[in-house]
Amino acid sequence: MKDLLSVVIPAYNEELRISSTLERLCGYLRDNSWEFEVIVVDDGSSDSTVSIVENLSRKYGNIRLIQYSKNAGKGHAIRTGVLSSRGSLLLMCDADLSTPIEEIEKLTPFIRSGFDIAIGSRGLMESDLVVRQPWYREIMGKVFNVFVKIMVIRGLKDTQCGFKLFNGNVSRRLFGKTCIKGFSFDVEVLFLARQEGYKIKEVPIRWLNSPMSKVKITRDPLKMFLDLLKIRTYWLLGKYNKPV
């Protein structure tokens, strides 16, 4: 019996690219004989994202839409999708598919060989950054990663790449504990995984920057830094010790 792959995609005002992403993703997985479900979590979009996904779900019966009216943040959207998933494997990927879906073949062997999480990384020498970010976003990312290493978790080159593959049961256990609703949710779930002794493998991937990033450079870096403080504070206060 084949493993069921759950793919969780957070979406907020993605009408310009969600259709091509889902067509490409579903086409690849179907053509390569994957058993899969795609869970698109609409994070309060005000454009045509919902109707586009609904139309595609009629074409591909394994696309499922979860929606709510108020924008709550990427971390909240991912958590919602993960906790509704059924797969023995779970892939998080972004709506822009900046890491091509074909790269899943690089991550899967590590999960099958005993790792609990395999994360795509742009920070490894072997990674192929076909289209790089603008210089100021690269600097912002490097500075943020320094704070991540100082405050939360060491030993990882890139916590923020949106392409991560989990053992499905591990993903649901970890996201059942998460609290961060914004962009620092990646750091939180990897921190919890490290604290609970799960095995994490960082894997070089092919990556193409999308010019339509949802991270606002004038607003989000401060929020992400404050979220790092929250992660440490929540850990010290025992907030992550709730049963799942």
Measuring CA to CA, which residue among 204, 182, 180 is closest to residue 192?
180
- Across the range 94-116, mean pLDDT stands at 96
Please report which confidence band the pLDDT of residue 140 belongs to, taking 50, 70 and 90 as the band edges: confident
184's torsion region: left (phi>0), alpha (psi -120 to 50) or beta? alpha
pLDDT tens digits, 35-57 = 999 999 999 999 999 999 999 99
Q: For 167-226, what is each residue's pLDDT tens digit?
A: 999 999 999 999 999 989 999 999 999 999 999 999 999 988 776 666 665 567 788 889
**Domains defined along the chain, listed by start:** 4-241 (3.90.550.10)
Res 105 pLDDT > 60: yes
Task: Report pTM.
Answer: 0.91
Q: What is the pLDDT of residue 183?
A: 86
- pLDDT value of residue 215: 62
Distance set, CA 238 to CA 20, 95, 153 (Å):
43, 34, 17
User: Is a pLDDT exceeding 60 seen at residue 1?
Assistant: no
Q: Which residues lie closer than 8 Å to 228 by C-beta, 6 or more apart?
A: 147, 148, 151, 152, 184, 187
Q: Pick 166 or 124 by higher pLDDT.
A: 166
Average pLDDT, the chain: 91
* Nearest CA among 113, 107, 194 for reference residue 155: 194
- Rounded percentage of the chain residues whose pLDDT exceeds 90: 74
